[in-house]
Structure 1
Amino acid sequence: MSGGERLSELIVEADGGSRGNPGPAGYGAVVLDPVSGEALAEAAEFIGVATNNVAEYKGLLAGLRAARELAPDASVRVRMDSKLVVEQMSGRWRIKHPDMKPLAAEAARIYPPGQVTYEWIPRERNKHADRLANEAMDAGRAGRQWQPSASRAALDAGAARVVGDATAGAAKARAALAHATAPPVGGPVTGPGTGPSGTGALSGPAASSAPTAPGGATAPAGPVAPAGSAVSAAPAAPAGAEPAPATAEPVPAAGASPATPPVGWAAPADLGAPATFVLLRHGETALTPQKRFSGSGGTDPELSPAGLHQARAVAAALAARGTVQEIVSSPLLRCRQTAATVAESLGLDVRVDDGLRETDFGAWEGLTFAEVRERYPDDLDAWLASPKAAPTGGGESFAAVARRVAATRDRLTERHAGRTLLLVTHVTPIKTLVRLALGAPPEALFRMELSAASVSAVAYYRDGNASVRLLNDTSHLR
């Protein structure tokens, strides 16, 4: 792009993440030349404790402001992997959450109506903004501002490529970068552009106990202060790169993991945004209040009227939280019905994963615990004593279920790092995920209560650690 050329179109890619959802959060945004794909400006900021959706909206705001500084008259195409933000800003979905309404209104005011269009892209195509968001969260965790990793020469070269009135903004941005400091978390952020809103310095042309049958019905981090932000016109840095002040402790690259990761209080800071599983047990069926074994080897019952009511209640609660980004369901009807009800409320699609199906209880399907005890006493005793014992008639052992569920967990966490997934599934898969996250023995399955339409949550970090955030929450059913 020549020095005198004016841009008639810009592409903004933005993303946000939260390590806990809500938890320590940050955003990233990049402005691209639509022809060359060149990165014209980058923005990133650690914003303290927030949800994924709030962080995504903050990223959108930063990207639009950066684009406006570059070319206020250009048409802007926003590309994000947040279907929620894209559909809401396009006017196709209603904005219900009170935290998102003012952010959406602010974004709509940056450019005149009709000058900005929105496009959903898969997460794999939004890696640049995703990397920036993670860099910002890593910087905030270390107590400093995010800064671009390019050299000053590259920064100056990038600024020289900015056209029109944005040239003056580049000069001011370089001055701001020269005076910016790296304060500890919670300390003051100095330098031009810093204010009570938490927007920090600029560095480029843009602103910015009795056993319970597992198949039956019975059977949250303190706030972190913002550490500032920065915007750069320099080319994008390699993934995971982050310069540190000479006095700062080195921060491991995202994705790195120790040979034997410690857990609990001995664990180091996490190495990237976690994949968070919100675990929803399906609503009641006719078998649930009777406490009958209901797995994947018998009939496939539908939700009862009470179960449908429960599904609607949990859907409303999840919509109010505004944190779920994707929905994955067991293939069994009761889960698919529950998932569909939630999906309608959230405006999301449902993907079915066979790994989330309930245990096959063999000849015990449809029976109560007392009936199994009367008909198959030896088999039941063996089943209660060993996770390797299977129910009568070719059922599935808890050990087999654990292998299946663990494989599903690994596949989903690898594919959805940094995302919040709603898994609509059953008693045994949810208890298994919790047990594995806690490192508890198999008999722990008989010591957890899990009600119909209850919500639990586990976060999985890239260093191998897991954190159980919630278990058997039924507050939405009251």
Structure 2
Amino acid sequence: MARKLTVTADGGSRGNPGPAAFGAVVYENGKTLEEVAETIGVASNNVAEYRGLIAGLTAAHEIDATAEIEVRMDSKLVVEQMSGRWQIKHPDMKKLAFQARDIHPRELITFTWIPREENSHADRILNDVLDGAPSSAREPIQQNFLMERLISGEEPTTIYLIRHGETILTPARKFSGSGPLNPELTDIGISQAEAVAKEIVKLKPDLLFSSPLRRTQETAARISASTKLEIITQDIWIEQSFGKWDGMSVAEVSAEFPAEYKHWLAGTSYIPPEGESYDEVTARALEGIDQVATENPGKKIVVVTHNGIIKTAVAAIIGARPESIFHIDISPCSITTISVWPSDNLMALRGCNERGHLRG
């Protein structure tokens, strides 16, 4: 009977890209068999996570080349890509994924996404090695890469993230996700969409993407009319799923689901009943940004999407803690601007929640 091993792995970058490390742990029946942690110089979070996966699989394979291995990671991106459900667009990620796939027989490996708190062992040892070098012996580690990029002459891809206009659920702050309710724009929402369309046409964008939900499609239609761009609809830009909470007010959710609501307020990994966690939305938002930036280098891209997508992307781009999204709110038909440099996908926030065009 084949041995059953569990690998947990994580990667972290302080700066994204910045000083990075990975950690991986191999277990059997709950007992730790091996720990692996190493600094890898300057790298992105995604690269560090893949390096952790490679280290964990390598360690498990060396223990038993015929074992069944369950890989458990809190990186939705890596789990979905390695499971074959998400495409791998970035060439560096492809190389690392191919390397990981060649370590152990693929039919013996399964991948499972876990909340961040269940991956604390791997997270702890990677942070230990990042903190481990004596400060007196440490050379200064570059963290500011943007300054060099701004004077390099390399043309970034510019992405304008537009939240849709107001719906009937917006003023009361009701949960409005990707569920079947799918509200349309109100008269105020239509006016907001027309105002942002007038602003966007001044930017002379090259492409227009949108979530498939009605409120984003109606907003994108106004932008399409002003820019003469065809709407490219992609599911990856859809709003977070709130599951059973969709359409409910905060008071209703806290009364009907008191325990679940407390967990949801306490962190980004909690999944509402039949819904989606903020961590999952973050991974999806970054996957969408990576995809459009890689496929359209140097272009100006408009994406009509949602509050959840935009605020999780902003937090990830500036390297803030995941919980920082609880201090970010994106207004209807505001503009959030990011730049992505094609050479290594360095991302920078250029503007957030701009709404001057709505004050006229």
TM range (shorter): 0.5 to 0.7
2:281 & 2:180 partners in 1: Cα distance?
Answer: 17
Distance 1:270 1:427 in 2: 33
Name 1:24's counterpart in structure 2: none
Q: Equivalent residue for 1:293?
A: 175
* Residue from 417, 439, 453 that aligns with 2:333: 453
Q: Which residue matches 1:275?
A: 157
Q: Alpha-carbon deviation of 1:323?
A: 2.7
Shift of residue 449, structure 1, vs aligned partner: 2.3
Higher normalized strand content (fraction of residues): 2
Residue 215 of structure 2 is aligned to residue 342 of structure 1? no
The partner residue of 2:260 within 379, 385, 389 is 379
What letter corresponds to residue 413 of structure 1 in structure 2?
A
- Residue matched to 1:312: 194
C-alpha distance in 2 between matches for 1:449 and 1:410 = 23
Match of 1:475 among 347, 356, 360: 356
- Indicate the SS of the match to 1:459: strand
Instruction: Find out whether 1:420 has 2:279 as its counterpart.
Output: no
Structure 2: how far apart are the matches of 1:261 and 1:419?
28
Give the secondary structure class of the aligned counterpart of 1:331: coil
Q: 1:270 Cα shift?
A: 4.6
Q: Which whole-Å CA distance do the structure 2 matches of 1:302 and 1:375 have between them?
A: 26
The aligned residue for residue 242 of structure 1 is none
In the other structure, the counterpart of 1:368 is 249
Please provide the CA RMSD for this pair: 1.8
Change (3 A) 1:274 1:413: same
Amino acid across the alignment from 1:279: L
TM superposition score normalised by structure 1: 0.44
Question: Which of 398, 407, 419 in structure 1 is aligned with 2:287?
Answer: 407
Higher helix share: 2
Q: Deviations over 1:317-369 (max 9, x none)?
A: 222x2331110000101001100111101111110010000000011111122
Q: 1:387 to 1:270 in 2, by over 3 A?
A: farther
> How far off its partner does 1:266 sit?
6.2
1:296-334 C-alpha deviation (Å, 9 max, x unpaired): 023111111111111111111222x23311100001010
**What is the CA deviation profile of residues 89-132 of structure 1, one whole-angstrom value per residue up to 9, with x for unaligned ones?**
xxxxxxxxxxxxxxxxxxxxxxxxxxxxxxxxxxxxxxxxxxxx
In structure 1, stretches of 5+ residues that fail to align are: 1-259
Q: Once the two structures are aligned, what percentage of the paired residues are identical?
A: 35
Aligned residue number for residue 115 of structure 2: none
The one-character-per-residue Cα deviations of 1:376-398 (angstroms, maximum 9, x if unpaired) are 12111212222221112x10011
Aligned residue identity for 2:324? A
Query: Alignment partner of 2:176: what SS?
Result: coil
AA of the residue aligned to 1:467: A
Preserved CA contact (<8 Å) 2:242 2:276: yes
Q: Which of 421, 439, 455 is the equivalent residue of 2:319?
A: 439
Is residue 396 of structure 1 aligned with residue 276 of structure 2? yes
Give the aligned length: 217
Which has more radius of gyration?
1
